[in-house]
Amino acid sequence: MARAQAPVRRDYPWFTPITTRWSDNDIYGHVNNVVYYSYFDSVANRYLIDAGGLDIHHGDTVGLVVNSGCDYYTPVAYPEPLEGALRVDRLGNSSVQYGIGIFREGNDQACANGIFTHVFVDRSSNKPVPIPPQMRDALVAIAAAATTGTTEEN
């Protein structure tokens, strides 16, 4: 089976720097595969805090990760500066699936590409709730071209 080509910068509308840490490297001298998932979590939540008004300490609505996956294309290692890229691939009533790229600073092709799904829930009951309006607006703003203006029930 042919391997999919790595995504490129133009596939993502939003970027944020990622600082690699010494502890990110594994015994083989590159960032360990599990560390990418912490990068994904940081990228998505940074956007939700900055653009969507997510209050991680006191807000009534929080996002729980219910699905994730990653394709790896090129290894990276500490102390390389990286950038996380974010887009919305699917937007539901209470959930969102992100596409997240990890890029070497300034490089056009992603080193890794992940999917990451949040379901938004009421903090006290853990029951799904509609995505709050400010957060939904922020998510629509970075929706992939194929999904702009579409939603699916969730």
Domain that holds residue 58: 16-141
Q: Residue 95: name the closest of 51, 56, 44 by CA.
A: 44
Cβ contact 83:110 at 8 Å: no
Is 54 within the bounds of a domain? yes
Write the CATH number for 126: 3.10.129.10
Is 11 within the bounds of a domain? no
The token pair at 32 is 């360990």
Is 117 within the bounds of a domain? yes
pLDDT at 146: 47
Q: At what angle are helices 133-141 and 33-52 packed, to 10 degrees?
A: 120
**CA atoms of 90 and 117, how far apart (whole Å):** 9
Q: Which residues of the chain have pLDDT under 70?
A: 1-3, 145-154
Is 10 within the bounds of a domain? no
**CA atoms of 69 and 83, how far apart (whole Å):** 18
Is 4 within the bounds of a domain? no
pLDDT at 130: 98
**How many domains, the chain?**
1
pLDDT at 144: 83
Scanning the structure block, which residue is given the tokens 């390389």?
A: 80
Tell me the β-bridge partners of 104.
Answer: 82
Is 151 within the bounds of a domain? no
Is 146 within the bounds of a domain? no
Is 150 within the bounds of a domain? no
pLDDT at 76: 97
